[in-house]
């Protein structure tokens, strides 16, 4: 399907968009005609992402943001609305991982992962919901993981955050569907990004950031009478 310009006039906010999946999603939605707002914690990486997007013809608003802080979440939503207009699409992509036996992890590691992967989605979605409800339209897409459906050694904190994210996504969908707002979760397997645990894996056989961006494009171009609540993605060959 040709998605070019299908999002003309819409505004998309993508978190964790300075690299990897978030950057690929921002690029894809921008090529589809959306006005793009991106945020991430690292200002230098964010500036590189903005330049990269502009080089491909995508104009973008970039805002350094810690999505675990309510004040900064409110600020980036307000800045996006003032500069670009009401937010039609929110992609909650920001995420981190800390891995190792659960009994060797500290409270600081728990807080960092759960706040970034789960709390931030609650804060950001809550910030955009009132305007979406008022307008009776909107898409919220949460980038989860197959780790939200499976368990593995050394993944306790990360899996807990992603299992929680799927529970949050499902409840958000039920709370918002009556207002014309669609909430979906995408659960990729191993994606070839800086985040991935690459040891022993063939990067060429892993999912690529553009694969996840394609799934986002499909979700935001659904017919109005339905929504896909969850997408599970795996590479065609095991890496």
Q: Which residues are tagged catalytic?
A: 158
- Among the listed residues 63, 1, 59, the one whose alpha carbon sits nearest the alpha carbon of residue 34: 59
End-to-end Cα, the chain, rounded Å: 28
For residues 116 and 76, give the distance between their C-alpha atoms in angstroms, rounded to a whole number.
16
Which residues pair with residue 14 across a beta bridge? 38, 91
Tokens of 13: 């906010």
**Rounded distance, CA 95 to CA 105, Å?**
18
Beta bridge partners of 186: 143, 231
Distance between CA atoms of 227 and 194, rounded to whole angstroms? 31
Distance in angstroms (rounded) separating the CA atoms of residues 33 and 9:
7
Torsion, Cα 19 187 161 80, to 10 degrees, reads 50
């Amino acid at each position: 399907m040709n998605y070019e310009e299908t999002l003309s006039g819409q505004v998309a906010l993508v978190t964790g968009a300075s690299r990897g999946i978030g950057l690929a999603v921002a690029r894809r939605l921008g090529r589809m005609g959306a006005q793009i707002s991106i945020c991430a914690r690292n200002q230098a990486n964010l500036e590189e992402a903005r330049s990269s997007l502009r080089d491909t013809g995508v104009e973008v608003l970039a805002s350094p943001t810690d999505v675990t802080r309510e004040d900064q979440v409110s600020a980036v939503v307000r800045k996006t609305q003032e500069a670009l207009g009401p937010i039609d699409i929110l992609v909650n992509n920001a995420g981190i991982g800390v891995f190792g036996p659960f009994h060797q992890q500290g409270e600081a590691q728990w807080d960092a992962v759960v706040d970034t992967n789960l709390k931030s989605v609650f804060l950001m979605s809550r910030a955009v919901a009132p305007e979406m409800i008022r307008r009776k339209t909107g898409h919220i897409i949460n980038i989860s993981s197959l780790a939200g459906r499976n368990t593995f050694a050394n993944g306790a904190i990360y899996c807990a955050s992603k299992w929680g994210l799927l529970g949050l996504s499902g409840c958000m969908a039920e709370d918002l569907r009556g207002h014309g707002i669609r909430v979906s979760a995408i659960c990729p397997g191993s994606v070839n990004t800086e985040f991935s645990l690459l040891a022993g894996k063939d990067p060429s056989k892993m999912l690529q950031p553009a694969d996840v961006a394609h799934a986002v494009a499909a979700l935001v171009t659904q017919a109005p009478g339905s929504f896909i609540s969850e997408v599970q993605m795996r590479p065609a060959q095991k890496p």
